[in-house]
Structure 1
Amino acid sequence: HLYQDDLELERFGYAMPSNFSSSPIGAMLCNDDRWGKCNIKSTSLLGNILAMNKAKSLGCNEVVMHREGFMTEAGASNVFYFNEKGQVRTSALSENILPGITRSILIDALQDTPYRVKEGSCSIKDFNDSPCIWLTSSTKGLLPLTHLIDTDYKLQENYQGFLDVVELFNSAMQLHLAISK
């Protein structure tokens, strides 16, 4: 299929309440079978849809995808976690990861704090020793995972590091929203 050279970019948006749920959810680990340009926002979400529906059938609300044992992203979110050293980790942006707005705001908010985000290759083996894995998205805010099927991960409730990260994120969001007005 060919597209015209003189296409005009169409943009749309809608407002969402900023009072996100803080109730942790379960997720399923799955192989990332999507196409190779996931950094391009498109309506081609079949891979995500199939994985998310399988997760739903197992009682989960999300999937955490990986390629060859290295985390990419979730079905409708970006993924962050604390490693065994207490560092905040997330996958570096690549063709396999959509650069989320909330992801960017969180990374900026943590830049000059003890929780500065380390981006890079993230082995799914790290999840087993993590006290907290969480998702970020414009519709979820920061949402911790209770468990991750096919790993030994279990949420360490009231993990102080995550509570601190949420507070820093909320402050950054208030500033971001105030500047946007």
Structure 2
Amino acid sequence: MSRTVYINGEFFPASDARISVFDRGFLFGDSIYEVTAVIDGKMIDNDLHLGRLERSVDQLDIPMPLSRGKIISVQLELITRNKIVEGLVYLQVTRGTEDRSFDYSSALKPNLVAFTQDKPIKGTNAHRAGVKVAIVEDARWARRDIKTTMLLAQVQAKRHAKAVGCDEAWMVQDGFVTEGASSSAFILTRRNYLVTRPNSAAILPGCTRQAVIEVARQLDFDIEERLFTTEEACAAKEAFLTSATSLVTPVIEIAGHSIGAGQPGPVTRRIQDVYFDIARHF
């Protein structure tokens, strides 16, 4: 059965969904996206994702194509039409469509595209057994806090990780871990501090990251938002990554170094369980 896709106020079968070759997202990567996980037919942390969408388009001076309430209605309609029990809802806002030029018309109308994917989110093998992480240099542009569709550096990082037998890549700048190619990075130090890099232009302000920090605070873990090196990461007691589609995933190896006992640790397991329970019942 064909998926239903939303484009600018209309729903189409996926085979009939079209966007112009003159769309600035296609030509320049001049666009923003968000991904919200769906579990048991419910969206997880969606308010955080829509808040970040609004911030991102504002940073690039792209008008919001719809109000937050109407975007939620589109998301829910797509979940219903596509019978999504577990998976994701993808949103992309582009600056609009006009003849190719680096400059753009001030009155350009944005395009909004949305679709769903049927995909396992919870209880995956990665959640149970953990993942291996490669280390790559961070080759992205300077405004990583804006969730643009300019993802070539992340694509290359993922390809490198796969080539060396890893599941994800953590990117490094000046010796310090920034974040994963599609995730936020956490480590647990030998002194039992939970460490993650603070939000800045150097990283994307992860929505699941934010929710997990709140969970950790509720559990009375000591949290440090600071820079950490690859050496510190490799020496950590535990490590995990977070994202909308990976939730809280244990990291059992970094750049060939086993983390802890080479299996998911108890702190990661505790945060996994509590985060998922809160998210599922929110």
The TM-score normalised by the length of structure 1 is 0.86
CA contact (8 A) 1:128 1:153 kept: yes
Is structure 2 residue 103 aligned with structure 1 residue 2?
yes
User: In the alignment, does 2:19 pair up with 1:19?
Assistant: no
* Alignment check: 8 A CA contact 2:239 2:251 kept: yes
**1:154 maps to which of 216, 237, 259:** 259
Superposed displacement of residue 153, structure 1 = 4.0
Tell me whether 1:93 sits opposite 2:93 in the alignment: no
CA distance in 1 between partners of 2:178 and 2:268 (Å): 21
Structure 1 residues 155-164 or 7-16, which shifts more? 7-16
Q: Percent identity?
A: 22
SS at match of 1:111: helix
CA offsets 1:75-122 (integer angstroms, 9 cap, x no match): 111111101111111000111211122111111222232224321112
Equivalent residue in structure 2 for 1:139, among 245, 262, 266: 245
Question: For the residues of structure 1 that align with 2:192 and 2:115, how far apart are their CA atoms?
Answer: 36
Letter of the 2:280 counterpart: Q
SS for the counterpart of 1:29 is strand
Instruction: State how far apart, in whole Å, the 2-side matches of 1:20 and 1:104 are.
Output: 21
Greater Cα offset, 24-33 or 114-123: 114-123
Structure 1 position 171, deviation (Å): 2.5
Q: Which amino acid aligns with 2:153?
A: G
Q: Is the 8 A contact 2:212 2:275 kept in 1?
A: yes
**Can you list the C-alpha shifts for 1:6-45, whole angstroms capped at 9, x where unaligned?**
3347363636654242131111111111111111111111
1:28 corresponds to: 134
Distance in 1, Cα, partners of 2:138 & 2:146: 16
How far, CA to CA, are the matches of 2:204 and 2:277 in structure 1?
24
Aligned to 2:143: 37
Give unpaired runs (5+ residues) of structure 2.
1-101
Distance in structure 2 (CA, Å) of the matches to 1:18 and 1:132? 22
Q: Where has structure 1 moved over 6 Å in runs of 4 or more?
A: none
The one-letter code of the counterpart of 1:10 is L
User: Is contact 2:177–2:229 with CA below 8 Å preserved after alignment?
Assistant: yes
SS of residue matched to 2:112: coil
2-structure distance, mates of 1:76, 1:140: 9
CA distance in 1, matches of 2:181, 2:194: 20
CA shift at 1:146, angstroms? 2.0
1:110 and 1:168 in contact (8 A); partners too: no
Match of 1:128 among 234, 240, 243: 234
How many matched pairs? 175
Deviation of residue 131 (structure 1)? Answer: 1.8
Alignment TM-score, normalising by the size of structure 2: 0.57
Which one has the largest radius of gyration?
2
* Structure 2: distance between partners of 1:20 and 1:90: 24
Deviations 1:33-84 (A, max 9, x none): 1111111111111111112111111111110111111110001111111011
CA RMSD, Structure 1 to Structure 2 (Å) = 2.0
8 Å contact kept, 1:105–1:172: no
Change beyond 3 A, Cα 1:112–1:134: same
Runs (5+) with no aligned partner, structure 1: 177-181
Q: Secondary structure at the match of 1:133?
A: strand
Asked if the contact 2:161/2:169 (under 8 Å) is kept, the reply is yes
Residues 89, 117 of structure 1: 8 Å contact kept: yes
- Shift of the 118–58 alpha-carbon distance from structure 1 to 2, 3 Å rule, reads same
Distance apart, 1:163 and its partner CA: 1.7
Change in CA separation of 1:20 and 1:13 when aligned onto 2, cut-off 3 Å: farther
